[in-house]
């Protein structure tokens, strides 16, 4: 009876969404549960950074990590919070050969009332699930993973900086772990999360302007590809181009697309242009998501939501080219240009090296009114200076750690 009922349910679901049913069937069972987390605490806690505001991005790691294994036969295992450790993998493991890997980037903040809070974390969970589907890695319960990550943050809460300039960066990651050289779906996987305290992303500090190299010879993503997903394979090939930008005196790369040199992203950030458009309207514009070549950033979404709530100018998702930008600069219609992402929040742009042309962007000359206001409102929410439903509390009163060691 139970088996027949399950088959009928599979048949009904398959008529609606066959891909989802097959994916879940391959996942081999239900997701892990945060209520089942097992704990192993370090016997050798590391010293915290003396000045978290000076912590370089991704160089210092907390005492513990979250890990949960999956295989196609048994499904998800028991989530474990344990001392951070190296991962031992077979030389033929699929992640090494076929980049079966994905990650997310989030932050936890110590608020002014001593809570620990994350910023819109469910949006990261949704994006991680979409990326897992694209990478043919196992699905999971988004809410349960978020609870597990929250518990990891609670365990290592003293690593959340006592600062309004620094935060705790969270890196949930999933990799295919099957030792096989076949180009197939990995039959085993590891999901883990590590944490690191971070200061400002750029050495120049928070909210300081940067210069960009825009070279149409280099492409970050193509239509129909994987540019809209948080895959490590999107980032590794950009490192050499970033190094070239540095050699040419620029801090980041402005990625262009197509023969008309469409403006897509800045480094690992989404990009916005605030200007007076061709119709004489004040407009905040960014690359649309329907092309599939830019990442649907959480900060991007939040900027558009905030600006929409002001009701003061147009907010538009549309394609803008370098020709549009250079024409707008010549006619003095470009007011501000900035990148946006979790690591830096908002990064003003003041100079672009494009086809051996030096383009000056008057972002800082114009306040910058819009970028500065967005930065203040976003960081006020993140650090709890103003109440907002985008702030997801992990620890109500920091300092209360009452987990049971198992």
Q: Which tens digit of pLDDT belongs to each residue from 239-291? A: 999 999 999 999 999 999 999 999 999 999 999 999 999 999 999 999 999 99
Indicate the pLDDT class of residue 200, thresholds 50, 70 and 90: confident
Given a cut of 50, whether residue 1 has pLDDT beyond it is no
Let me know: does 263 contact 294? Beta carbons within 8 Å.
no
Q: What is the pLDDT of residue 21?
A: 38
Task: Spell out the alpha helix ranges (H) of 238-286.
Answer: 239-247
- Report the alpha-carbon distance of residue 358 to residue 260 in Å, rounded: 19
121 shares its domain with 228: no
The answer to whether the CB of 334 falls within 8 A of the CB of 273 is yes
Which residue spans within 121-228 are E strands per DSSP? Answer: 167-176, 188-198, 210-214
Q: What is the pLDDT of residue 389?
A: 97
Domain harbouring 318, CATH code: 3.20.10.10
CATH number of residue 155's parent domain: 3.30.470.10
- 363, 288: one domain: yes
Angle at 11 between CA 9 and CA 14, to 5 degrees: 105
Asked if residue 395 is part of any domain, the answer here is no
DSSP 8-state assignment for residue 182? S
Closest CA to 148 of 29, 226, 71, 67: 67
CA distances from 373 to 221, 312, 366, 379 (A): 31, 13, 12, 10
Is 228 in the same domain as 183? no
Burial class (CB in 10 A: 0-12, 13-18, 19+), 128: buried
- Is the model's pLDDT at 26 over the cut of 50? no
Model confidence over 136-153: pLDDT tens digits? 999 999 999 999 999 999
Q: Assess contact for 367 and 335: CB atoms under 8 A.
A: no
Are both 178 and 51 inside the same structural domain?
yes
Gap between the Cα atoms of 104 and 170, Å rounded: 8
6 has a pLDDT exceeding 60: no
- Averaged pLDDT, 298-317: 98
104 confidence band (pLDDT: 50, 70, 90): very high
Residue 390 lies in a domain: no
- Using the predicted structure, report yes or no on whether residue 159 has a pLDDT greater than 90: yes
Residues 295 and 269 in one domain: yes
Same domain, 194 and 217: no
Average pLDDT in the chain: 91
Q: What percent of the chain has pLDDT over 90?
A: 84
Q: What is the mean pLDDT of residues 87-114?
A: 97
Domain count along the chain:
2
Shared domain for 177 and 214, answered yes or no, is: no
Kindly indicate the confidence band of residue 36, based on its pLDDT and cuts at 50, 70 and 90: very high
Higher-pLDDT residue of 206 and 59 is 59
E strands, 143-302, are 167-176, 188-198, 210-214, 252-257, 262-266, 269-276, 282-286
Q: In 17-101, where does DSSP find H-type helix?
A: 18-27, 94-98
Task: Compute CA distances 312 → 186, 306, 388, 391, whole Å.
Answer: 50, 11, 21, 25
* Phi then psi dihedrals of residue 22, to 5 deg: -60, -45
**194 and 247 inside one domain:** no
pLDDT reported for residue 201: 82
pLDDT of residue 30: 80
The packing angle between helices 298-310 and 369-382, to 10°, is 110
Domain extent at residue 243: 210-382
Compare 205 and 362 and report the one with higher pLDDT: 362
Residue 344 within a domain: yes
């Amino acid at each position: 009876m139970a088996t027949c009922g399950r088959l009928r349910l599979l048949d009904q679901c398959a008529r609606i969404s066959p891909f989802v049913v097959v994916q879940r069937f391959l996942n081999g069972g239900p997701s892990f549960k945060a209520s089942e987390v097992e704990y192993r605490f370090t016997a050798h806690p590391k010293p915290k950074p003396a000045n978290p505001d000076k912590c370089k991005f991704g160089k210092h790691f907390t005492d513990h990590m979250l890990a949960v294994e999956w295989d196609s036969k048994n499904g998800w295992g028991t989530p474990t919070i344990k001392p951070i450790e190296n991962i031992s993998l077979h030389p033929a493991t699929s992640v090494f050969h076929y980049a079966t890997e994905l990650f997310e980037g989030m932050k936890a903040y110590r608020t002014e009332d001593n809570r620990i809070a994350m910023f819109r974390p469910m949006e990261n969970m949704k994006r991680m699930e979409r990326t897992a589907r694209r990478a043919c890695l196992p699905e999971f319960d988004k809410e349960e993973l978020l609870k597990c990550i929250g518990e990891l943050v609670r365990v290592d809460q003293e690593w959340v900086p006592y600062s309004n300039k620094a935060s705790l960066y969270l890196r949930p990651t999933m990799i295919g772990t099957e030792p096989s050289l076949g180009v197939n779906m990995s039959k085993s996987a590891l999901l883990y999360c590590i944490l690191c305290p971070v200061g400002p992303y750029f050495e120049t500090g928070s909210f300081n302007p940067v210069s960009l190299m825009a070279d149409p010879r280099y492409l970050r993503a193509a239509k129909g590809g994987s540019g809209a997903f948080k895959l490590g394979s999107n980032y590794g090939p950009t490192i050499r181009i970033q190094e070239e930008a540095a050699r040419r005196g620029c801090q980041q790369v402005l990625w262009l697309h197509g023969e008309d040199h469409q403006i897509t992203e800045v480094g690992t950030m989404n990009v916005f242009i605030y200007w007076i458009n061709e119709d004489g309207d004040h407009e905040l514009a960014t690359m649309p998501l329907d092309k599939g070549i830019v990442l649907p950033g959480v900060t991007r979404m939040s900027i558009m939501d905030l600006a929409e709530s002001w009701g003061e100018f147009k907010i538009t998702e549309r394609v803008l080219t370098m020709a549009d930008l250079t024409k707008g600069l010549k006619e003095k219609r470009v007011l501000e240009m900035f990148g946006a992402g979790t690591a830096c929040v908002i990064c003003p742009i003041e100079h672009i090296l494009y086809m051996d042309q030096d383009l000056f962007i008057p972002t800082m000359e114009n306040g910058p009114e819009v970028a500065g206001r967005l930065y203040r409102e976003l960081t006020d929410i993140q650090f709890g200076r103003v109440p907002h439903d985008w702030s997801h509390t992990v620890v109500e009163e920091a300092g209360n750690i009452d987990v049971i060691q198992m």
